[in-house]
Amino acid sequence: MRRILIIDDEEDIREVAALSLEATAGWEIVTASNGADGLRAAANSRPFPDAILMDVMMPDMDGPTTFRLMQENPDLVGIPVLLLTAKVQGVDQRRFAGLGVAAVLFKPFNPLTLAEQICEKLGWKD
């Protein structure tokens, strides 16, 4: 069973994504409401998450900053991170792609196809 960490400051988004991934894919979900808690959850989770779905815009520590800090932790550096954003401008997409994240997914997402999108972006054959 895959384990996914969802980091998003919006409770509704966390809940919809978590319920969606549990119901459609049977994955185990761990959630965090901000970047700092997400870093702790990722580092303390056993087993480590198979992937991290993270919002771009969060107060205090945004998604790109959280991702950069994860890359400094040898335990977390190999975990694929998918950014979740409402920003669809080309310049934003290029900036996110330049970070080295596995993929960028767009809000609003379809809860019925979210797991399928993640599998496609990560090359999983679930």
Domains of the chain: 3-122 (3.40.50.2300)
Q: Tell whether the model's pLDDT for residue 89 goes beyond 70.
A: no
Query: What average pLDDT is seen over the chain?
Result: 93
6-24: per-residue pLDDT in tens?
A: 999 999 999 999 999 999 9
52-64: per-residue pLDDT in tens?
A: 999 999 999 999 9
Contact 69, 58 (CB under 8 A): no
Give the pTM. 0.94
Q: Can you give the pLDDT at residue 90?
A: 62
